[in-house]
Amino acid sequence: MTPALVMQVALGGLLMGLIYALVAAGLSLIFGLMDVVNFAHGELLMLAMYATFFIHRGFGLDPIVQLPIIALLLFGMGVVIYHGLIARALSVRFNRGMVQIFSTFGLAIFLRGAAQFAFGGDFRAINHSWLAGRTLRLATLSLPLPQLAAGLVCLLAFAALMAISRTEFGRALEATREDREAVALIGIDRDRIFALGWGLGCATVGCAGAMLAGFYYVSPDVGANFALIAYVTVALGGFGSLLGALVAGLIIGEVEALTALFLEPSLKQVGMFAIYLAVLLFRPRGLFGTL
Amino acid sequence: MIGLSRPVFAAFLAGAWLLLGSAAFAAEDIVIGAVFPLTGNGSQVGLDAKAAIETEAEIINGHHDIPMLLGQGGGLPALGGAHVRLIFADSQNDPQKARAEAERLITQDHVVAIIGSYTSATAVTISQVAERYQIPYMSSDNSSPSLSQRGLQWFFRTSPQDEMFTQAMFDFFKEIGTKTGRPVHSVALIYEDSIFGSDSSRVQKKDAEAAGIKVAADIRYRANSPSLSTEVERLRAADADVLMPSSYTSDAILLLRAMQEIGYHPKALLAQDAGFVQEGFFQAVGSLAEGVMSRSAFALDATRSRPAITPVNALFHARSGKDLNDLTSRELTALQVLADAINRAGTATNEALRKALIATDIKGADTIMPWRGVHFDASGQNTEATPVIQQVIGGHYRTIFPDDVATSEPVWNVGK
Amino acid sequence: MPPSEAGTAIARRRRLELSAGLVLLAALALLGLPIHDVYTQNLLIIALLYAGLAQGWNILGGYCGQVSLGHALYFGIGAYVSTLLFVRLGVPPGLGMFAAGGVAGAAALLVGWPAFRLSGHYYAIATLVVGEIGYLLFLNWDLLGGASGITIPFKAESLIDLQFRTSKLPFFYLTLAYAALAWTLAWLLEGSRLGFVWRAVRDDMVAARSLGVEILPSKLAAAAISGGLTGMGGAIYAQYVGYIDPDSVMTIEISILIALPAVIGGVGTLWGPLLGAAVQVPISELTRSYLGGSGSGVDLMIYGGLIMLVALARPEGLFGLIAGKRRIDAGFS
């Protein structure tokens, strides 16, 4: 257990944390906007990864180059899903919370089946991207470039989202979240805001998927590997707080890595979940939660 | 009939009688059930299994004339050319659903036997049902030792199990250590947290101890994690002679990539098969797989001693787009052994089939497997299934142990 | 409606419900006898098991408004307690299942006590996380079987051991009794003081507080009853399947499947979970059996699509279709 080893693992944890934050960002946005627990978040990630894989295979475009394409694709998908499913779920008068949970759960199963139907059950992977297999070595530390790039994209995405929140659109989002009924009075089309907000959230998870496809495998069930961690990240950071999602992601990634190093790797998720529950004891609304 | 001479008329009658007679005796299909995970996690393997078993049915029923047991085609000879008909069911890798499907196959479709099942958990419940209804369950690819140690009468396993596989691994260590003068002093075990991982590591620990080899690392990891970097760092710190992973495809991919990212190159890697023999693994890791070793029940390159491999592989490839591997070859062979027993039983009644299975004695040369043969002991385990050790040389697995089936010299870097 | 008339109307309705319940029970009991097809029997058993489980979940999630997404923890604890008592200590599961319910109920109390401080989504995610922690702990706990699970050996046909091999009929009656127990508990609770408190808490927390009602003890009671019922179901499952491992009794998928019938059928209602189980279980079993064999994923698409459809088309559940009068709103606070 040398200091170099601990540092390497800690660094890996931070990188992974940034990736968790990126996956969670879209979820946080949607949570914050319309109180929707989207159980299909992992499947949206999976679809983004498949899209990246196939576009790479068909046109040779590197995942990084594909970012705007995938973001746009998932944005469109998000708007479609909103109008097709979520808008109906929100218009329900009774059991709104549960209807959202279970209708998106049905969507998740449907998407998994559709992915298997369309793409087959085999594992796919991109192994000739620009950054694949390259590592930046600083002294004793190894920083794999695909993960590093994902981390950078994460920071950029958060910066972009926070910039958007200062625009008029962002303020409209905020207003709609604060008081759904009243915004109609000041001329904000609630439905349109929700659709755009949902699209934005999906575009963000699309970016995560594109970057993940650069170093992770793709299969119909791959979303499940990240989904629960994403929910915990958002809840730890506090629903509705973008900064919270970022900080929480870093904490989760770090705790996971250190638990795997000092305790038992098979219990590393128990470590991150335990930290989450411990924080909840003192801050029932997460670290920065305002809702 | 006016004008036809008597002998011609007689011949005509005889011919008509034979024709009608054979039509009357034309055999009904023999229905066999197969339960595998066809959707969800594990569907990749399940769908490959389906292709493999369908290939064997095609060989039995068709006219491919392959130099192996029942390879001449035309159906089951002792049953009037009866065809084998398969019914597949999806276990979704859940023991309760597997059981429900097995029961459905037995009671609704009246299958005479069931082949399965990829995972141990589903094999437990399927074999319990089979035992209850007195239908043979043919375990084609379940490797958990405990499955054949439950005193079941209707459980048959053609495949080697973990104890046999791991024994082969340590036999290989002994031999290569003596041959090169660079023996194995330490191993690092890394295994996923399901039944497969725990069974495999348990036997590996036991055998290592018996061979006087140090276990430098004993790492159980969470399957399907987003990252295995920390786990690999711990492996590097242990710095064992041989890395022995027990992983499925997803983790095998992550493991090798993580190793490359941190620049960790173990002297030797001997895998417990599973993910390390899957097509998806090769496509994902490319040249990183060079030098990787694995135990295997099958040797694709043993075409000299097993000439049936080439035509059978061609048929399988046409159906699935992949070459036969350790799992698919076993699944295919399981149907072959089952069909042979049905053929020898002459009928499809339970007890006759069971007796025929117990009496099974097939020579390895009559199959595509590099085994000594197929013969079940009292617990239903095929004791003649001899595993091999293979190594990725030039992008493909080549058999390196034991000597009588080896096609290549191993690349052994331990001690260098 | 003047209070006295309202009271009588409610009493009359409750008598009607009880009669309807008894009639249904008798009908199902008779229905079981002529069915000999094992596949159908299995379908009915699983449906009844889930009816009971969903009803148990409904007590906490529907009546009390606390949406738990981690009920597999109690299901699994129940399965393991009953199984370990049987396999290691020889305690017959006929008795063990009550112990299983007890331990599971206690676990629910332990989880509920800190968790009920959390609101809405935070509570749901917390239950999800606790459930997953339970799964991971059991997976790594070799003393309790770990990943290898526990096989329950068949010793002999026995009522008290809940082991039946020659016929599935005893399991049918066992799960029927279980579902009936869950339903009866729900019916009793609806008319009890606890039920009144839950409705106040769920629908209007401010008003509830102002009545001097103690919110936490009532929620804890709901948790204990709900967890206990779920645990009992786990014990029955273990005896029925004969093999348990963390992957088959403690995963998130199971948590969702326990809650799903209640949502589909009508959360917070007496009949919702039954209706939901009657719809959901056949759909999932039949799509798998008759469409899953191809491995194309079409069965999943149909199953998922149907869940979405029902959740949306009839958000007050299928029950709302039948009895449009009762209004329930178990939205998040």
- According to DSSP, the residues that pair with B90 across neighbouring strands are B36
Lowest mean pLDDT: which of A134-148, B55-69, C75-89, C217-231? A134-148
The per-residue pLDDT for range B255-308, each reduced to its tens digit, is 999 999 888 999 999 999 989 998 889 999 999 999 999 999 999 999 999 999
**Residue A151 is encoded by which pair of tokens?**
């981390």
CB atoms B263 and A142 under 8 Å:
yes
- Going by pLDDT thresholds of 50, 70 and 90, the confidence category of residue C224 is very high
Report CA Rg, chain C: 20
CB atoms B39 and A265 under 8 Å:
no
**Residue C95 is encoded by which pair of tokens?**
């008795």
Of B296, B293, B363, the C-alpha closest to B329 is B296
Query: What is the per-residue DSSP string for B12-39?
Result: HHHHHHHHHHHHHHPPPPEEEEEEE--S
- Going by pLDDT thresholds of 50, 70 and 90, the confidence category of residue C320 is low
Question: Is A281's pLDDT higher than 70?
Answer: yes
CB atoms B222 and A20 under 8 Å:
no
Which chain B positions have a beta carbon within 8 Å of C249's beta carbon?
none
**Residue B4 is encoded by which pair of tokens?**
């036809």
CB-CB: which of C147, C243, C285 is closest to B95? C243
Query: What is the per-residue DSSP string for chain A?
Result: --HHHHHHHHHHHHHHHHHHHHHHHHHHHHHHHH----TTHHHHHHHHHHHHHHHHHHH---HHHHHHHHHHHHHHHHHHHIIIIIHHHHT-SSSHHHHHHHHHHHHHHHHHHHHHHHH-S--B----SSSTT-EEEETTEEEEHHHHHHHHHHHHHHHHHHHHHHSHHHHHHHHHHH-TTGGGGGT--HHHHHHHHHHHHHHHHHHHHHHHTTTS-B-TTTHHHHHHHHHHHHHHH-TT-HHHHHHHHHHHHHHHHHHHHHS-GGGHHHHHHHHHHHHHHH-TT-SS---
State the smallest CA–CA distance between residue C252 and chain A in angstroms: 10
State the smallest CA–CA distance between residue B229 and chain A in angstroms: 7
Q: Neighbours of A (≥3 Cβ pairs closer than 8 A)?
A: B, C
What's the confidence (pLDDT) of residue A142? 87
CB atoms B121 and C149 under 8 Å:
yes
What's the confidence (pLDDT) of residue C201? 75
CB atoms C292 and B121 under 8 Å:
no
Q: How many CB atoms lie within 10 A of CB A5?
A: 16
CB-CB: which of B87, B97, B121 is closest to C245? B121
Q: What is the mean pLDDT of chain A?
A: 88
Question: Is B204's pLDDT higher than 90?
Answer: yes
| Domain chopping of chain A, boundaries | 3-282
State the smallest CA–CA distance between residue A45 and chain B in angstroms: 13
Which chain B positions have a beta carbon within 8 Å of C151's beta carbon?
124, 150
Question: Is A68's pLDDT higher than 70?
Answer: yes
Q: How many CB atoms lie within 10 A of CB C98?
A: 15
Question: ipTM of the assembly?
Answer: 0.90
Mutate to test the interface with A, among C269, C312, C314 (most CBs of A within 10 A): C312
Lowest mean pLDDT: which of A95-99, B241-245, C84-88? A95-99
- Tell me what the mean pLDDT of segment A73-82 comes to: 94
Which chain B positions have a beta carbon within 8 Å of A112's beta carbon?
40
| Pair B147, B127: CB distance under 8 Å | yes
**CA A29/CA A44 separation, integer angstroms:** 15
Which chain C positions have a beta carbon within 8 Å of A264's beta carbon?
140
**CA C88/CA C33 separation, integer angstroms:** 35
Q: Map residue B94 onto helix, strand or coil.
A: coil
Which chain A positions have a beta carbon within 8 Å of C125's beta carbon?
231-232, 235
Percent of chain C with pLDDT over 90: 50
Burial category of A12 from C-beta neighbours within 10 Å (exposed 0-12, middle 13-18, buried 19 and up): buried
CB-CB: which of C38, C293, C299 is closest to B103? C38
Nearest residue of A to residue B256, measured between CA atoms: A133
Question: Is B18's pLDDT higher than 80?
Answer: no
Question: Is C120's pLDDT higher than 80?
Answer: no
Burial category of B24 from C-beta neighbours within 10 Å (exposed 0-12, middle 13-18, buried 19 and up): exposed
Question: Is B9's pLDDT higher than 70?
Answer: no
Q: Map residue C82 onto helix, strand or coil.
A: helix
CB-CB: which of C125, C311, C315 is closest to A106? C311
Query: To which H or E segment does residue B186 belong?
Result: strand B186-192
Question: Is A43's pLDDT higher than 60?
Answer: yes
Burial category of A2 from C-beta neighbours within 10 Å (exposed 0-12, middle 13-18, buried 19 and up): exposed
Lowest mean pLDDT: which of A184-188, A257-261, C124-128? A184-188
State the smallest CA–CA distance between residue B12 and chain C in angstroms: 47
What's the confidence (pLDDT) of residue B15? 54
Which chain C positions have a beta carbon within 8 Å of B108's beta carbon?
37, 39
CB atoms B198 and C294 under 8 Å:
no
| Pair B406, B389: CB distance under 8 Å | no
* Strand stretches in B234-382, DSSP E: 242-246, 268-271, 293-296, 362-363, 373-374
The per-residue pLDDT for range C2-43, each reduced to its tens digit, is 666 667 888 888 888 899 999 999 999 998 889 888 899 999
Q: What is the mean pLDDT of chain B?
A: 91
**CA C94/CA C78 separation, integer angstroms:** 13
Question: Is B89's pLDDT higher than 50?
Answer: yes
CA C61 vs. chain centroid, Å, equals 10
The per-residue pLDDT for range B205-259, each reduced to its tens digit, is 999 999 999 999 999 999 999 999 999 999 999 999 999 999 999 999 999 999 9
- Going by pLDDT thresholds of 50, 70 and 90, the confidence category of residue B21 is very low
CB-CB: which of B47, B220, B286 is closest to A121? B47
Q: What pTM was estimated for this model as a whole?
A: 0.89
CB atoms A123 and B281 under 8 Å:
yes
CB atoms C248 and B121 under 8 Å:
yes
Question: Is B24's pLDDT higher than 70?
Answer: no
What's the confidence (pLDDT) of residue C3? 60
Question: Is C1's pLDDT higher than 70?
Answer: no
CB atoms B220 and A219 under 8 Å:
no
Which chain B positions have a beta carbon within 8 Å of C147's beta carbon?
193-195, 197-198
Which chain B positions have a beta carbon within 8 Å of A260's beta carbon?
221, 230-231, 234
Q: How many CB atoms lie within 10 A of CB C224?
A: 21
Question: Is C122's pLDDT higher than 90?
Answer: no
A236–chain C Cβ distance below 8 A for any pair = no
**Residue C194 is encoded by which pair of tokens?**
């606890």
What's the confidence (pLDDT) of residue B11? 56
| Pair C267, A98: CB distance under 8 Å | yes
**Residue C251 is encoded by which pair of tokens?**
């995963």
State the smallest CA–CA distance between residue A92 and chain B in angstroms: 32
State the smallest CA–CA distance between residue B95 and chain A in angstroms: 19
DSSP strand pairing (B388-393 vs B396-401): antiparallel
- According to DSSP, the residues that pair with A135 across neighbouring strands are A144
**CA A227/CA A216 separation, integer angstroms:** 15
State the smallest CA–CA distance between residue B41 and chain A in angstroms: 7
What's the confidence (pLDDT) of residue B42? 81
**CA A251/CA A273 separation, integer angstroms:** 11
Give CATH for domain B30-160+303-385.
3.40.50.2300
CB atoms A1 and B237 under 8 Å:
yes
- Going by pLDDT thresholds of 50, 70 and 90, the confidence category of residue B416 is confident
Question: Is B399's pLDDT higher than 90?
Answer: yes
Lowest mean pLDDT: which of A52-56, B11-15, B99-103, B201-205? B11-15
What's the confidence (pLDDT) of residue C51? 97
Dihedral-angle region of residue C120 (phi above 0 means left; psi in -120 to 50 means alpha; beta otherwise): left
CB atoms A89 and C331 under 8 Å:
no
**Residue A29 is encoded by which pair of tokens?**
């946005």
Instruction: Name the superfamily (CATH) of residues B163-296+389-401.
Output: Response regulator (3.40.50.2300)
**CA A45/CA A227 separation, integer angstroms:** 9
CB atoms A264 and B225 under 8 Å:
no
Of B186, B308, B322, B358, the C-alpha closest to B249 is B322
A231–chain C Cβ distance below 8 A for any pair = yes
**C34 to each of A49, C46, C165, how far by Cα in Å?**
52, 18, 18
Question: Which class is domain A3-282?
Answer: mainly alpha
| Domain chopping of chain C, boundaries | 1-34, 37-252
Provide φ and ψ at B137, rounded to 5°. Answer: -105, 120
Helix C38-58, helix C3-32: angle, nearest 10: 160
CB-CB: which of B41, B225, B284 is closest to A125? B284
B222: Cβ contacts below 8 Å, ≥ 6 apart: A265, A266, A267, A268, A269, B192, B193, C136
Largest CA distance in chain B: 98
What's the confidence (pLDDT) of residue C330? 38
Query: To which H or E segment does residue B139 belong?
Result: strand B137-139
**CA C179/CA C173 separation, integer angstroms:** 10
| Pair B328, B51: CB distance under 8 Å | yes
Helix A242-262, helix A3-34: angle, nearest 10: 150
The per-residue pLDDT for range A130-167, each reduced to its tens digit, is 888 888 888 888 899 999 999 999 999 999 988 888 88
Mutate to test the interface with C, among B44, B45, B50, B96 (most CBs of C within 10 A): B96
Question: Is C273's pLDDT higher than 60?
Answer: yes
**CA B215/CA B206 separation, integer angstroms:** 10
What's the confidence (pLDDT) of residue C315? 58
Answer whether B30-160+303-385 and B163-296+389-401 agree in fold: yes
HSE (CB half, 13 Å, CA atoms) of B234?
Answer: 22
Lowest mean pLDDT: which of B361-365, C65-69, C302-306? C302-306
CB atoms C293 and B222 under 8 Å:
no
| Domain chopping of chain B, boundaries | 30-160+303-385, 163-296+389-401
Nearest residue of C to residue B151, measured between CA atoms: C153
Apex CA C236: angle with CA C234 and CA C238, to 5°?
70
